[in-house]
Structure 1
Amino acid sequence: MSRRLRRLPVLLLPIVLGASLVACGSDSGSDGSDSDSSSGDALHGITITGDVGKAPKVDWNGKLDVSKTDSEVVTKGDGDKIAEGDQVVTHIWIGNGATQKQAYSTYDEGQTQTIPASSDLNPVFKDAVLDQTVGSRVAVTATAADAFGESGNPDMGIGNKDSVLIIVDLIDSTKVLDAPQGKEQPAPSWAPGLTTDGDKVTGLDFSKAPKPNGKLLSAALIEGDGDVVKKGQTITVNYLGQVYKGAKPFDESYSKSPASFAIGAGAVIPGWDKTLVGAKVGSRMILAIPPAEGYGDQGNAQAGIKGTDTLYFVVDILAAS
């Protein structure tokens, strides 16, 4: 299940989630300016203009020649400071410093990208997000190898010997709960029991649960006291999934870190889209998902799920934006 919980395009995964890359540390540039343009030392004479939230205009100063990662705040926002664990709504622009051409832009895609603010982010990207303020535009210059790894990013037209300019607009941020927050509710008769360790769910107990009835079912075990989740939002959750009578979970996030993904947009199995839209932030949901609303007749062999298996999930909704 976790492999379907990534909303970021494949093109952006290495630069944002590059924990596995052997990347150099980042040397921060200036600590910010209230100006709407910049051509400071970190940018090697490059000038960036335009309003945050709109596609930037970049005037290159010839070929970008860099040997290390550097960052500079082009426009300093007056919003909240972004802290570890926040869910951050961004626009991202990437240019090839060798060709002085745009390589990628979320503005062209017509949608923002939501990422987790974490010290585990690729060092090239981390300084553009953590401890910055909402409303800011931050620029990063780096080698392609530091940004994407030894192969560069051929899909973006960026070779491994090229340099890159990355512009990150910090549009909004949402605090992520540590655990469900709300009022406990009686468990429905169809639901399995929960095995827990503090706030973490470690498994499901089907010893007293009836056989699945083939219907898509959902209920709040904890009714959250936050906002209602809307279609198209990005939600951050902890979850555990187990097939009916399964001996152990086939996937879970409680022992790792919460997952973020678009909801109601086809990014996850239909049963999640249909049950989590309309739930409240802070809720702990229990779901029973028949094959037709899960992985269909083909199942998911990699996860050990057969085409006849009913899936049960516990989902803690920790944030939505």
Structure 2
Amino acid sequence: MRRRSVLFAVPALMLTAAGCGKDDKKSGSAASGSPTNSASATPSATPSSSAPAKPKIVSGPLPAITAGTAFNKKPTVAKGTGKPSTDLAVKVEIPGTGAGAVAGDYLRVNYLGQIWDTGKVYDTSFGHAPYAIPLGQSKVIPGLDQALTGQKVNSRVLMAIPPSLAYGTAGYSQAGIKPTDTLVFVVDVLERFTGKDSAKGTPVPQTDTKLPKVGTNTDGKIPSVTLPKGAKAPTKLVSNYVLEGSGAVVKDSDTLLVQYQGLLWDGGKQFDSSYSRSALTDFPLKNVIPAWTQGLAGKKVGSRVMLVAPPALAYKDQPPQGSGIPSNATLVFTVDILATL
């Protein structure tokens, strides 16, 4: 089970399930034909109404990093001295490379968080698994979102986040954070994922003429899907590599970051695609239709997988309203597994 980070805003809200209306596409959430099986448990929240949409960013004051100063080494940070700024203070300790992150990107990071006044470390990913942060989706505290927007891979960022851009007047008692506490973070940006990413694995021969053939492009564009003419739909789940990655093996308890598309076996009409939204999708693997849970568990990160989902492992006779999926339809998906979160 993934450890929950206090980077996330609170209180948690439930994301919408499959069957949402067409407006979902405008907001960047999963479309009505997405593989979500039930209400997602992914935490999300909107910033406090008192938090400015674009806070002023200043250069300090900031406490010093006294040990672990190299990139991706667990840092030791001095206790804050004096009065912290009421604005967001940000300093790039180690410059990164490449393009700066923008809203809609996901950043894989290591981080350490502590309280300004006491120097108490209340959370860290160092020594655990790196964490993935979605930018511009109101899923993390506003100050963190703002401080990391524009940052580059391989950068180390030191920041001091005032209460108005953290947990506001409620604080976060579970972590010992009072409503008046300024928070200090050191964040190392390890990796960036964008809506133009795709799997980069090795092509696997597609020799079964009774199954769809999927494109092997790795340029972030939607892969082609050629359906077999006159072939009967499989009655059992098909889960085949198109590109085989070299990453970790996916567990059914993982949360995945993916690009995907869905088509009808009969006629080949596309009913959903993350590519068309230029937005990545993340979901707990246990919270999607059985074809995805069963078909993606055991596959490797970095892979493109072709799934053929019979009705019993998809939506049966209750497809999402407005999805364009007929009752008892066999579905074809291509899924690029970019990362586990």
| TM tier relative to shorter chain | 0.5 to 0.7
Deviation at 1:55, TM superposition (A): 2.1
Secondary structure, in 3 states, of the residue corresponding to 1:237? strand
Find the aligned partners of 2:79 and 2:319 in 1 and give their Cα distance. 48
Aligned residues: 282
Is 1:9 the counterpart of 2:30 in the alignment? Answer: no
Residues 73-104 of structure 1: CA distance to partner in whole angstroms, max 9, x if unpaired?
2x214x41342366533111112335432221
Match of 1:33 in 2: none
Deviation at 1:168, TM superposition (A): 0.8
Structure whose residues are more often helix by fraction: 1
Deviation at 1:287, TM superposition (A): 0.5
Match of 1:189 in 2: 210
Change (3 A) 1:60 1:229: closer
Find the aligned partners of 1:112 and 1:218 in 2 and give their Cα distance. 29
Find the aligned partners of 1:154 and 1:288 in 2 and give their Cα distance. 47
User: Aligned to 1:136, which of 132, 155, 161?
Assistant: 155
Query: Where do 5+ consecutive residues of structure 1 fail to align?
Result: 1-5, 31-40, 194-198
Deviation at 1:66, TM superposition (A): 3.9
User: Aligned to 2:240, which of 218, 223, 247?
Assistant: 218
Task: Kindly indicate whether the alpha-carbon contact (under 8 Å) linking 1:90 and 1:169 is maintained by their aligned counterparts in 2.
Answer: yes
Is 1:315 the counterpart of 2:341 in the alignment? Answer: no
Deviation at 1:175, TM superposition (A): 6.5
Q: Give the structure-1-normalised TM-score.
A: 0.61
Deviation at 1:180, TM superposition (A): 7.3
Find the aligned partners of 2:235 and 2:144 in 1 and give their Cα distance. 47
Query: Where do 5+ consecutive residues of structure 2 fail to align?
Result: 11-42, 215-220
- Root-mean-square deviation over aligned CA pairs: 5.2
User: Aligned to 2:123, which of 98, 104, 129?
Assistant: 104
Correspondence list, 1:74-89, <5 A: 75-77=93-95, 79-84=96-101, 87-89=106-108
Residues 203-229 of structure 1: CA distance to partner in whole angstroms, max 9, x if unpaired?
999996634422443253xx58xx544
Correspondence list, 1:34-73, <5 A: 41-43=60-62, 46-51=63-68, 52-62=71-81, 65-73=84-92
Match of 1:287 in 2: 307
Secondary structure, in 3 states, of the residue corresponding to 1:20? coil
User: Aligned to 1:238, which of 239, 259, 265?
Assistant: 259
Match of 1:156 in 2: 175
Find the aligned partners of 1:160 and 1:177 in 2 and give their Cα distance. 39
Find the aligned partners of 2:84 and 2:130 in 1 and give their Cα distance. 29
Deviation at 1:159, TM superposition (A): 3.1
**Which amino acid in 2 is paired with 1:28?**
I
User: Aligned to 2:274, which of 253, 276, 292?
Assistant: 253
Find the aligned partners of 1:158 and 1:88 in 2 and give their Cα distance. 25
User: Aligned to 1:271, which of 287, 294, 297?
Assistant: 294
Change (3 A) 1:319 1:185: farther
Q: Give the structure-2-normalised TM-score.
A: 0.58
Over the matched positions of the two proteins, sequence identity in percent amounts to 23
Deviation at 1:47, TM superposition (A): 2.3
Find the aligned partners of 1:99 and 1:290 in 2 and give their Cα distance. 57
Match of 2:58 in 1: 29
Deviation at 1:243, TM superposition (A): 8.8
